[in-house]
Structure 1
Amino acid sequence: MSFNLRGAILQNVSGNSAQEVEETILDAVQSGEEKMLPGLGVLFEVYWKNASEDDKQQVINQISKGLQ
């Protein structure tokens, strides 16, 4: 029996307002708990699939700057 974590996370946040999504992200980042990382990854995947090439490049640049 396998558990579809991605599907469960998407179902959990489906239909959330922009404010609810922001609260979810802030809670995950501020808590620093490792169990929140898969959820952030799924949210990032949703963003990436819907972002323009320019938006993707901006995110890549911001992340690379943050890693220096």
Structure 2
Amino acid sequence: MPIVLDLRQAIVHKVHNKTDADLRDMIEGSVDGPEAALPGLGAIFEMIWKNIETKQQDELIQIAQQHLQSVTPTPLS
């Protein structure tokens, strides 16, 4: 019977045992990259979010709010 990995497991498998430099390269290569990379970044963010304290979550929310307030959304067509 074939083994089926869900997206989260596939992302963990891809980044498991990577060096800090490898992980940075993967993230930087995904930022502003193809949209297909976004689920991977989302899975990594989810892992971080679930394993940090509420205070750190609040700090991330504030950073996100600051950046969201500084951009103008492109109109949807």
Using the size of structure 2 for normalisation, the TM-score is 0.76
Amino acid of the structure 2 residue aligned with 1:39: G
Structure 1 unaligned blocks of 5 or more? none
Displacement of 1:62 in angstroms is 0.5
Q: What is the percentage of aligned positions where both structures have the same residue?
A: 32
CA RMSD of aligned residues (A): 1.4
Is 1:37 aligned to 2:35, yes or no?
no
SS at match of 1:51: coil
User: When you count helix as a share of all residues, which structure comes out higher?
Assistant: 1
Structure 1 residue runs of 4+, over 4 Å off?
Answer: none
Radius of gyration: which is bigger? 2
Displacement of 1:30 in angstroms is 3.6
| Aligned residue pairs, count | 66
Displacement of 1:54 in angstroms is 1.4
SS at match of 2:31: helix
Structure 2 unaligned blocks of 5 or more? 70-77
